[in-house]
């Protein structure tokens, strides 16, 4: 998979790094790039949550196994996806 997460990087470290990367991109963007980004962000606000249509992708939740500390993937029902 191409998640851009570094080997042995924890999830919160990954998201912090991605936030820094996004902030650097926004700081350098020109007026046209900013307009494009804002239009895309506005359009995304009205986009439905995954799992509300029959052709929607499956939604999963990750739970930590108490014995092994491994993360286990658990499928979530479409109706429950909005609550996650």
Cβ contact 78:56 at 8 Å: yes
Helix, strand or coil, per DSSP, at residue 15: helix
Q: What is the pTM assigned to this prediction?
A: 0.52
The secondary element (H helix, E strand) that includes residue 73 is strand 71-76
pLDDT in tens, 46-59: 877 665 566 667 78
Per-residue model confidence as pLDDT tens digits over 12-43: 999 999 999 999 999 999 999 999 999 999 99
Side-chain half-sphere CA neighbours of 19 within 13 A: 6
Strands (E), the chain: 59-64, 71-76
Are β-strands 59-64 and 71-76 bridged in parallel, bridged antiparallel, or unpaired?
antiparallel
């Amino acid at each position: 998979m191409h998640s851009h997460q570094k080997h042995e990087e924890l999830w919160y470290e990954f998201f912090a790094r991605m936030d820094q990367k996004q902030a650097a991109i926004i700081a350098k963007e020109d007026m046209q790039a900013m307009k494009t980004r804002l239009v895309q962000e506005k359009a995304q606000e009205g986009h439905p949550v995954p799992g509300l249509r029959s052709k929607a992708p499956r939604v999963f939740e990750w739970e930590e196994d108490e014995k092994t500390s491994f993360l286990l993937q658990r499928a979530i029902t479409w109706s429950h996806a909005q609550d996650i």
